[in-house]
Structure 1
């Protein structure tokens, strides 16, 4: 009951005030046990309005950020989703709940293994791979792409993997200058960009400051 009360408080006091009104998103936040994906030493902070450390300098995003991103992406069943940076696997579970077709790439093998085990335990189907997202074959196309680490500068790499009408979430910049944007592919290799919030995420590991960087 304590977890259920904390979950309810998170939704009512953190998520709704951020204008997250999507029934699908609010339902998955209620149904998917976020605490199951949180490292043991941080279980008591599962529903707190903070980033939670995962090791390797990686973190779970704050709940309100996750919820806002999911609402903005407006994911539908059957859409093909790519997640760059699996982390704990919680956001992966949320994406799988919405689409049912998720590929997630994680650089750290131990995080990938842990996330895959937890997702399987809850009967979520997602393809978890260890490697470099920038090694994607150019023919790989997705309806939705979620990049969970910030980019030091904008790159068109992920945009080129969007289907027409596809949506990309990414954070560009660092510190106070970082902005989270929703990029929509509108056809003819054209894209519409919308800043959806100002937030800083941990940079993609080893991402250099010039184009041609790797994850």
Structure 2
């Protein structure tokens, strides 16, 4: 009897522990995997990776999803390591380091970002996270980072410049460009300004917890690995805090600062906060006006939401591989057929309703009229389906031909990228060339 009671109590407490782990953001089935990443299946491309993160409930909000889809994780890898970019694993090469995607997604969700906030990234690394944050903060936010290694800061600025100049995603967002400084984050003066959001990308020991907390404004959020747990700390008052453990993680510990020749610690100033110039405000206003006009035009032509949605839909199904331009047409036709059938069903249901005796004659005439219309619509739907089926056959033949060409040449056939309407409109403005380049954020070194 005692043995049964003991086993029951052990099972009950195990259930409570597992339930608590699940509510903190990780299921007991992959708690150990989360420590080093690898909790999410690998994808073929960035969209596949984001789909897997959503399915595993690491990405939970639309805003975070759009930021993740806008930036290809592989762009922050060295070329020879790009094949590993879509695995849920951390990557390190020399001083360059990226955390696992599941960690970054939990961090982005925990920070609860919105436009206009100030953000400080301690251990900013490649700038991957800071750039995603900048897409949400908008042009009137503050986006600062501190990185220990100067060569990593150079690498981060190269990636940032490439994103601004070459990525179409950049033109779909109002961007808060990050600024980085070299130094040890533990050398920040205590009297420095505070931020709305702070993230630390290195393991923090208990003795440095108060130091990190003091970087926050009241109402601010700090996310950091604290004693092997990714922890969210919210400052609710001058000396009051709320703490929540998110999931188990394993981070390299903070590097302790080195004293100068005189025995005193070095002082690392934070990036300067500069008020926007009138020239920058004009650029923001012009780009916003052109973007809104472009989005409205695209929305009207497509009959759906704005172009702000990034990289969703066909790429998720893997249709990006052999020519989505054909499959988009086929999917669209099928959707049209479905809408026609749904309309027919609605008409049939409406025609089958009971009518009052006084309106029986009128109802009968209406049913006959609907029946005739239904037959005509059904005939049209059949013709539409036959046309779609014929087109499907043509598309299948074209895809088979493309696959054969790919096997022969060994090259992956990809469609032409969509035209960036915002950039096309800027280039079409009657302005001097240097001003067009300024509006496009192109900068002469």
Query: Matched residue of 1:83: which SS?
Result: strand
* CA displacement, residues 45-65 of structure 1 (integer Å, 9 cap, x when unaligned): 111110011313x53111111
Among 183, 187, 196, the alignment partner of 1:143 is 196
Correspondence 1:59 to 2:122: no
The correspondence for 1:182, drawn from 216, 232, 240, is 232
Q: 2: CA distance between counterparts of 1:207 and 1:196?
A: 28
Shift of 1:148: 0.4
Residue 152 of structure 2: SS of its match in structure 1? helix
Question: Gapped runs of 5+ residues in structure 1?
Answer: none
User: 2:181 aligns to what?
Assistant: 129
Bigger radius of gyration? 2
Q: Which has the higher helix share?
A: 2
Q: Is the 8 A contact 2:76 2:126 kept in 1?
A: yes
Q: Using the alignment, how far apart are the partners of 1:39 and 1:85 within structure 2?
A: 19
Partners of 2:58 and 2:105 within 8 A in 1: no
> 1:74 aligns to what?
112
How much has 1:23 moved relative to structure 2?
A: 0.2
Once residues 106 and 93 of structure 1 are traced to their aligned partners in structure 2, the CA distance between those partners, rounded to angstroms, is: 15
Distance 1:160 1:169 in 2: 13
Question: Which runs of 4 or more aligned residues in structure 1 lie more than 6 Å from their structure 2 counterparts after TM superposition?
Answer: none
| Partners of 1:41 and 1:206 in 2: CA distance | 32
How far apart in 2 are the matches of 1:206 and 1:136? 12
Structure 2: segments with no counterpart, 5+ residues: 1-42, 165-174, 259-264, 269-445
Question: What's the TM-score once normalised by structure 1's chain length?
Answer: 0.86
**Structure 2 counterparts to residues 1-215 of structure 1, below 5 A:** 5-56=44-95, 59-100=97-138, 101-123=142-164, 125-137=177-189, 138-154=191-207, 155-173=209-227, 178-206=228-256
Q: Is the 8 A contact 1:180 1:195 kept in 2?
A: yes
2 CA distance for matches of 1:13 and 1:67?
11
CA RMSD in angstroms, aligned pairs only: 2.2
Structure 2: distance between partners of 1:42 and 1:207:
31
Structure-2 separation of matches of 1:88 and 1:45:
16
CA shift, 1:140, in A, is 1.2
* Alpha-carbon offset, residue 121 of structure 1: 2.5
Equivalent pair of 2:67/2:133 in contact (CA under 8 Å):
no
Secondary structure in 2 matching 1:158: helix
Q: Deviations over 1:147-192 (max 9, x none)?
A: 001113352112111111100001112xxxx111000000122111
- Contact 1:18/1:64 (CA < 8 Å) preserved in 2? no
